[in-house]
Structure 1
Amino acid sequence: MKYLEDFAVGQALDFPPRQVSEEEIVAFARDYDPQPFHLDKEAAKQSLFGGLCASGWHTAGMMMRMLVDNMIGKYASMGSPGVDQLRWVKPVFPGDTLHLRGEILDVRPSQSKPDRGVVTSRYEMRNQNGDIVLTMQAKGMYGRRPVQG
């Protein structure tokens, strides 16, 4: 298990890539964002996207899964007080391979709760062509390393 003290300002975070399938785009859209350009290939061709694409919320969800599987799940995570910025820069299409990179901007122990602190991070998700598809700045709460007595 890793703790707040294991984060450092300027630290780069790189995550294994993730490929996106048409089936998952449609399944997510059916349940959470049922717009034609997320559900129907023919309707999507007539949209400003020119083809079936993932919901921005789905893209954010895929990013969250990458974070949990490769970082948050290995640290003493205590949740998040929120996201400061979230942008969907370009659409994500079936077959895209997403690459996530983060940077630690701030690590701050809590003044009122000495067992935890807050890490502020900035993330960029790119597709296989290097195009940015999503950016996010967020805060995460992490437990501090227990004092060995």
Structure 2
Amino acid sequence: MALHHLEDFAVGQTFSAGPLRIEEDDIKRFAGEFDPQPFHLDNEAAGNSFFRGLAASGWHTAAITMRLLVGSDIRPAGGIIGAGFEELRWPRPVRPGDALHIESEVLEVRPSRSKPEQGMVKVRTTTLNQKNETVQVSVGNLVVFRRPPTA
């Protein structure tokens, strides 16, 4: 698959990837290392929590989203280089057995004023479960390189 330079991106363009299934062991393993709260680690504690059952950490959902983005056909030249998020929401928890997929849409493409070899692409990425319920929404800016001038 070809790499996309800044000039290849256009507002409204879409990209997708997935699904990737998340199991109970995945949720507990990630939480044990990065977000060791009872509602991510223990079924009984999770059942008595705000989540009313075992739920993946939002950071786990973000990491899965990143994995799906890397496997998608967005493929910016230079890699997926984040310059920050304008929005990051988790409207619904990820549960054991969920199969996640992503849908990304280009919202803005702008060349850099100070670095002529690159620009920014603003992308909204929605992560959904197997029921097409939204589990994460992010709006982020990616650094994307311009096509090198021909000699």
Q: What band does the TM-score fall into relative to the shorter chain? A: over 0.9
Aligned CA RMSD, in angstroms, stands at: 1.4
Would you say the 8 A contact 2:4–2:74 is kept in 1? no
Q: Secondary structure at the match of 1:70?
A: coil
- Deviations for 1:37-80, whole angstroms, at most 9, x for unmatched residues? 10011111111212111000110111011112224656323722
Listed as ranges, the gaps of 5+ residues in structure 2 are none
Q: TM-score, normalised by structure 2?
A: 0.92
Aligned-partner residue type, residue 150 of structure 2: Q
The one of 92, 95, 102 equivalent to 1:93 is 95
- Deviations for 1:64-113, whole angstroms, at most 9, x for unmatched residues? 11112224656323722201100011000010011210110001111111
Would you say the 8 A contact 1:10–1:103 is kept in 2? yes
Aligned-partner residue type, residue 56 of structure 1: G
2:20 corresponds to? 18
Listed as ranges, the gaps of 5+ residues in structure 1 are none
Q: TM-score, normalised by structure 1?
A: 0.94
Would you say the 8 A contact 1:92–1:133 is kept in 2? yes
The one of 58, 61, 80 equivalent to 2:60 is 58
- Distance in 1 between residues matched to 2:119 and 2:76, nearest whole Å: 16
- Distance in 2 between residues matched to 1:66 and 1:78, nearest whole Å: 12
Aligned residues: 149
Identity %: 46
